[in-house]
Structure 1
Amino acid sequence: MSETAAAIRAEFTKVRGIRGTFVALLLFVPVSVFIAALGGWSAKGAIESDSPGLRSDFTPEQAGLDGILYGQLVLLVFGVLIVSSEYASGMMRVSLLAVPRRGRLYAAKMTVTALAAAAVAAPVIVVSYLVTQAALGSHGSSIDANGVPRALAGAVVYLTLMSLFAAGVAATARSAVLPLAVLLPMVLAGTQILSVIGATKEVARYFPDQAGMRMLTVQSHDAYTGFAVLLVWTAAALAAGYLRHRRWDA
């Protein structure tokens, strides 16, 4: 087994062995499915009662993907903890003894972050979409409706990149407190508010989460632009994290 493969295998073992990180990854499943079901039932009730609270641009296809806004919070926590837990516990020194080349260790950790996030996101996104449509009942749509397969694939890529972005920010900060204090409010409400204010609307479109959300918009015409913007943010975060990791005094 090559040294790189051994480093990746060791990182997978850490994901399973560190309780907080593993729990954060697993929580993505029930949170996403529950939000999907709740969203579908709520929308069904609004449709059947002609509620004015139903969004004017509501479509069953997009409703199956809207719950990701909340599910992604769990993966952001996972991305932060997979890096910050080792700095906080001092295990990073042990990891460097096993893998002295810092670039190899960092690359292995980020590879495992991406693979774990994608492996969990892919099936959960499909299940969540189907759960929403089932909850909508006769108002639901099919999984092969126009634009849906692309949006589902975009959602997997989006969640994977956002997990990597969070991991890069955590590596830069070398702790969990600051990244979580910034990322969670930003994704949950911060950029949402900025995106509806006239003075900041255009700027907010280029924040990582707002740009990336275009990838999972069913009728989006600029999904690839959103992907490119999020990719730049992720690459910048990973680069900054690596520079901090390389200069860390173990």
Structure 2
Amino acid sequence: MSETLAAARAEFTKMRAVRATSVALLLFVAVSVFIAALGGWSAKGAIESDNPGLRSDFTPEQAGLDGILYGQLALIVFGVLMMSGEYTSGTMRVSLLAVPRRGRLYLAKTAVTAAAALAVALPVTVVSYLVTQLALGPHGSTLDADGVPRALAGGVVYLTLMSLLAVGVAAAARSAVLPLAVLLPLVLVGSQILSVIGATKEVARWFPDRAGAQMLTVDSGDALTGLVVLLAWTAAALTAGWVRHRSWDG
């Protein structure tokens, strides 16, 4: 146990020392809060001007969770960089000299990534929601509105699992380029486009981001299904990453 904790402390030190990972976490905070404020302000203007462009299914509660859906892109980058950095720089050999047991090293990396993602996701999810309600002014809602606490908790779990999914994909690819080229477009537009096309709509709902998004939908009855699907994707990615990491020969 002490060796595992030592490995985790070493990974935490690396995370703080690498500027790119710190920047990714800061971007998650900035983007999430900015989109939350912008979305609330825009919706307030649309409501007060009776703008027909306002979504027919708009609710202040759901609007408060939109910001983190964009901010998650930065957390995906964070997860990818946490795992891929040592492969691309060649320092994985040094890490394996310090921690020869590959399973322990892999566990330390995933645990530190999950802990860091959770640590930022929890306050940012709540703050983003409150910022949106503040921007909505008299049209805003409260933190304890029906379905909101569950959706906020689901959002935190969703963000943490998406970070771990990125870790697994990065370990399987042993680089940053391919995971980022696949995950970012998929989450940003790919699965959303596929979800509105008749031929692919049913398939797209099982994609990790589309299924997981049910966890942070205020009035969703599919939150548990979304959690199970995202857990399955994350477990598969981490397993594939472990297989590749175990067979890495430098």
Same fold (TM over 0.5): yes
- 1:96 is displaced (CA, Å) by 0.3
Match of 2:243 in 1: 243
Match of 2:198 in 1: 198
- 1:69 is displaced (CA, Å) by 1.7
Give deviations 1:60-111, integer Å, cap 9, x for gaps: 0000001122100000000000011111111111100000000000001000
Match of 2:218 in 1: 218
- 1:167 is displaced (CA, Å) by 0.7
Residue 7 (structure 2) pairs with residue 23 (structure 1): no
Structure 2 residues not aligned, in runs of 5+: none
CA distance in 2, matches of 1:116, 1:236: 21
SS at match of 2:52: coil
Give deviations 1:197-228, integer Å, cap 9, x for gaps: 11111110000000000000000001000000
CA distance in 2, matches of 1:141, 1:66: 14
CA distance in 1, matches of 2:238, 2:2: 24
- 1:5 is displaced (CA, Å) by 0.5
- 1:14 is displaced (CA, Å) by 0.7
Relative to structure 2, which stretch is displaced further, 95-104 or 21-30?
Answer: 21-30
Match of 1:151 in 2: 151
- 1:27 is displaced (CA, Å) by 1.4
Residue 142 (structure 2) pairs with residue 142 (structure 1): yes
Match of 2:231 in 1: 231
- 1:147 is displaced (CA, Å) by 0.3
Match of 1:9 in 2: 9
CA distance in 2, matches of 1:26, 1:172: 26
TM-score (structure 1 length as normaliser):
0.99
Match of 1:168 in 2: 168
CA distance in 2, matches of 1:47, 1:69: 22
Residue 50 (structure 2) pairs with residue 50 (structure 1): yes
TM-score (structure 2 length as normaliser):
0.99
CA distance in 2, matches of 1:91, 1:147: 46
- 1:25 is displaced (CA, Å) by 1.4
Corresponding pairs, count:
250
Identity of aligned residues (%): 80
Q: Write the mapping of 1:48-197 to structure 2, written as runs, cut at 5 A.
A: 48-197=48-197
- 1:126 is displaced (CA, Å) by 0.4
Q: Which runs of at least 4 in structure 1 moved beyond 2 Å after TM superposition?
A: none
Structure 1 residues not aligned, in runs of 5+: none
CA distance in 2, matches of 1:135, 1:59: 14
Q: Is the 8 A contact 2:31 2:67 kept in 1?
A: no
CA distance in 2, matches of 1:218, 1:190: 23
Name the Cα RMSD after superposition.
0.7
CA distance in 2, matches of 1:39, 1:167: 30
CA distance in 1, matches of 2:179, 2:235: 16
CA distance in 2, matches of 1:66, 1:33: 10
SS at match of 2:64: helix
Give deviations 1:147-205, integer Å, cap 9, x for gaps: 00000000000000000000100000000101001100000000000111111111100
